[in-house]
Every structure is written in structure tokens, then in C-alpha cells.
């Protein structure tokens, strides 16, 4: 593996990603061959905001590999919230354990944590920024349900502007050949330009449509996400529009017989409960693929990296990141590290926020 830590799924080469997907499959087929491969290893799940689902998935994955788990799920009640720096917590926990999964409301936290950890770090969600194991879950599901990762027409429905899982899935699926994306949202909630740029420079194409019904007949995959009420410009617009983006039995009448419906969960009401009984609904089995995906990732990381002392990082620029939700806004000692883009733009290496200079 080129990277000790998995902050972004892009930290994996396409070959490494493919190997992990195949390993997930192999574990799913022969779980007992893997039930002891992490015996004696400890995973820390450091959840600075609650996410019961994700935490249970990580824990189950480690336990099914024969390892064990420590951590916290609620820093409000823990001494971790009482003034200790992220750096100190990570340094200590990285000394206790063999691998860390961290979730935090601030963008760039997993990157910051990785700079101080002897043990490899997995990003289990950093604010609205990245959530690579969700995307790994999605591609393991697609590979299993479709047999490959190319030549698909993939509908993505809901809040495509703010949905990090959507952005990440598009980025990853763009590495594979000949995928078509159908982007289903209101104009206000369409994908950001930088995601369109990625699709444009890849081997894939995309179209934008404004209703689920319109897209349905051509889809091989439908990736549903939630649209939050607050995203609409008014309550009236929400009431008028929301049905357009809700999946129900009626809309499925026009779908292909081998459509696969995915959802990162939890869902609220964007998929009607009646759809659960349709054999094309794959969003629950998707969580089981997610467990195998995390098993494969944890095993691969533990096999490839020994504990080693982190290398000190220094400021690259004397600039503060302007993103108020960047981890650097909370943890002041963090070195200021940026990537230069063009002449006057700096990209923060934690949160990937753009800073004009």
C-alpha cells in the first residue's frame, strides 16, 4: 500500500482498491478462514460524535477477524472533551492500540490524527468532508451485485450538492471504464462543479435530470440519499418537490428487473417502507457488505504497516485556513500545510478547503 493511513479512498491506487474489494469477497465466502487473523490486535474507535451504525460496523468487523476493540462513542461524557488536545489523545491511543478509526465533526480531523499516530488511522467520517469506508462499502456492494465496476448507468438521487457519499462514489467510480452517471436532483442541489470536472476528465459521462421517474427506465444502479428539509428554499417548495425524489413501488414499475437500489442509511422517508420487500432493494445487504469491506481494509492495513513513529510535519505556508469547520480552527498547534494550485490558490491539506492568497 502506498499510504499507511486511509483518510480518503483516493489514498488507495485502483489496484489496491480492487485487491481490497476482492479480499472482502473472499472473506464473505470463507469467513471462518479469517476469524482469527487479527487475534491479539486492538482497534480503537474514537467517535467524537455519535454514529452508532458506523461504530457497530467497525467493531463487528474487528471482532469477526478475532481482534478486539476499545474506544468511546460519546466524548461529551468523557474526559477527552476536557481540554486535552487531539494530538495528545491520538499519541496515547496510537501507543495503546494497533489501528484507529476516528470520527469527528471537524473537517480534516483524520488527516490531523494521522500525523501523530504510530498506528494506522482510518477516517470514519470527518464533518462533511470524507467518509471513505462508506464508499468502499458502496463499491464492494456494486462489485458483488453487478459482477464488475464498469459499464453501468448509475443514478444518484437526492441532495447531490452536500452529500459527501455521492461525491466520493462518483470520484471512485470514475476510475472504472465506461460508467454513465445520471444526476437526479433539484437545480439548487446539483453536484458541485469540481465533481463535474472529475467526470469530464474521466472515461465516464453524465446527464442531469430533475425527477426520479424520468431517469428510472435506464438505470442499472440507483443510489438514493436523503434531502434534508432545510435544503429547500421554502417549506412550500419542500412539500411540492419532495415526492419527486421519493422512491416508492409505483416508480419502480418502470425500472429494470436487475436494478440495484443502494442507500448509505439511515434513511428517513426518501424510500417508502414498501420498497424494502422488493428484491431490487439492496440497502440492507449493503450494510453487510460494509462489514466485509471494513474487515478487508483492516486486515490489509495491519498486514502492510508496522507501528512506527510519525515524522514531524512543519508549516508549508504562514496562512490560516479560512474554513471555519476545519480542524485547524480548533486545534491551534497544528502545522499550517497547504498545496499550491495555480498562482494564488492554496488548498488546505486537512480539509481541502480553498484559500485565496
Chain residues in the site for its own copies (CB under 8 A): 32, 35, 40, 42, 44, 50-53, 56-57, 59-60, 63-64, 66, 68, 70-80, 82-85, 87-88, 91-93, 95-97, 265-268, 273, 277, 284-285, 287-288, 291, 312, 333
- Closest CB to its own copies among 116 and 206? 116
Which CB, 88 or 203, lies closer to its own copies?
88
Task: Identify which of residues 206 and 232 has a Cβ nearer to its own copies in the complex.
Answer: 232
Q: Is 43 helix (H, G, I), strand (E, B) or coil?
A: strand
Closer CB to its own copies, 54 or 202, in the complex? 54
Burial of 246 from C-beta contacts in 10 A (0-12 / 13-18 / 19+): middle
For residue 353, give the C-alpha cell: 478547503
- Find the shortest distance in angstroms from Cβ 279 to its own copies: 11
Minimum distance, C-beta of residue 80 to its own copies, in the bound complex (Å): 5
CB of 42 to its own copies, least distance (A): 6
The answer to whether the CB of 40 falls within 8 A of the CB of 98 is: no
CA distance 111 to 123: 8
Instruction: Compute the least distance from the CB of residue 238 to its own copies, in Å.
Output: 16
In whole angstroms, how close is the CB of 180 to its own copies at the nearest point? 30
- 11, 94, 124, 322 from 127: Cα distances, Å: 18, 22, 10, 16
Burial of residue 121, with CB atoms counted within 10 A of its CB: 0-12 exposed, 13-18 middle, 19 or more buried: buried
Q: Closest distance between its own copies and the C-beta of residue 63, in Å?
A: 5
Runs of H (alpha helix) within the chain: 14-29, 52-64, 86-96, 109-114, 132-146, 164-173, 193-200, 212-215, 235-241, 249-252, 285-304
Closest distance of CB 97 from its own copies, Å: 7
Closer by beta carbon to its own copies, 91 or else 210:
91
Q: Which is nearer to its own copies, 118 or 352 (CB)?
A: 118
β-pairing, 338-341 vs 345-348, is antiparallel
9-30 as b/e: b if 16+ CB within 10 A: bbbbeeebbbebbebbbebbee
Q: Which is closer to its own copies, CB of 72 or CB of 232?
A: 72
Non-local CB neighbours of 52 within 8 Å, separated by 6+ positions? 73
Amino acid at each position: 500500500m502506498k499510504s499507511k493511513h486511509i483518510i480518503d479512498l483516493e489514498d488507495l491506487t485502483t489496484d489496491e482498491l480492487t485487491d481490497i474489494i476482492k479480499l472482502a469477497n473472499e472473506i464473505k465466502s470463507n469467513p471462518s478462514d479469517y476469524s482469527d487473523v487479527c487475534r491479539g490486535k486492538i482497534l480503537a474507535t474514537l467517535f467524537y460524535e455519535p454514529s452508532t451504525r458506523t461504530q457497530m460496523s467497525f467493531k463487528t468487523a474487528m471482532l469477526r477477524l478475532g481482534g478486539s476493540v476499545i474506544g468511546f462513542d460519546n466524548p461529551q461524557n468523557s474526559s477527552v472533551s476536557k481540554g486535552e488536545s487531539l494530538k495528545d489523545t491520538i499519541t496515547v491511543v496510537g501507543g495503546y492500540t494497533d489501528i484507529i478509526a476516528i470520527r469527528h465533526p471537524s473537517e480534516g480531523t483524520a488527516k490531523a490524527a494521522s500525523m501523530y499516530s504510530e498506528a494506522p488511522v482510518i477516517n470514519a467520517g470527518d464533518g462533511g468532508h470524507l467518509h471513505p469506508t462508506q464508499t468502499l462499502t458502496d463499491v464492494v456492494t456494486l462489485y458483488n451485485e453487478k459482477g464488475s465496476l464498469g459499464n453501468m448507468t448509475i443514478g444518484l438521487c437526492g441532495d447531490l450538492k452536500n452529500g459527501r457519499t455521492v461525491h466520493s462514489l462518483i470520484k471512485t467510480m470514475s476510475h472504472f471504464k465506461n460508467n454513465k452517471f445520471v444526476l437526479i436532483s433539484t437545480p439548487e442541489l446539483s453536484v458541485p462543479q469540481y465533481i463535474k470536472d472529475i467526470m469530464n476528465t474521466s472515461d465516464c459521462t453524465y446527464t442531469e435530470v430533475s425527477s426520479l421517474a424520468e431517469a428510472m427506465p435506464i438505470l442499472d444502479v440507483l443510489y438514493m440519499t436523503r434531502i434534508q428539509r432545510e435544503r429547500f428554499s421554502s417549506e412550500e417548495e419542500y412539500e411540492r418537490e419532495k415526492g419527486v425524489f421519493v422512491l416508492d413501488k409505483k416508480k419502480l414499475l418502470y425500472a429494470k428487473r436487475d436494478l440495484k437500489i443502494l442507500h448509505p442509511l439511515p434513511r428517513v422517508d426518501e424510500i417508502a417502507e414498501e420498497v424494502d420487500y422488493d428484491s431490487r432493494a439492496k440497502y440492507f445487504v449493503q450494510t453487510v457488505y460494509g462489514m466485509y469491506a471494513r474487515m478487508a481494509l483492516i486486515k490489509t492495513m495491519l498486514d502492510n504497516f508496522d507501528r512506527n513513529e510519525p515524522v514531524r510535519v512543519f508549516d508549508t505556508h504562514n496562512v490560516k485556513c479560512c474554513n471555519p469547520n476545519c480542524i485547524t480552527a480548533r486545534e491551534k498547534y497544528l502545522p499550517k500545510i497547504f498545496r499550491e494550485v495555480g498562482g494564488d490558490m492554496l488548498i488546505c491539506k486537512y480539509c481541502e478547503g480553498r484559500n485565496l492568497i
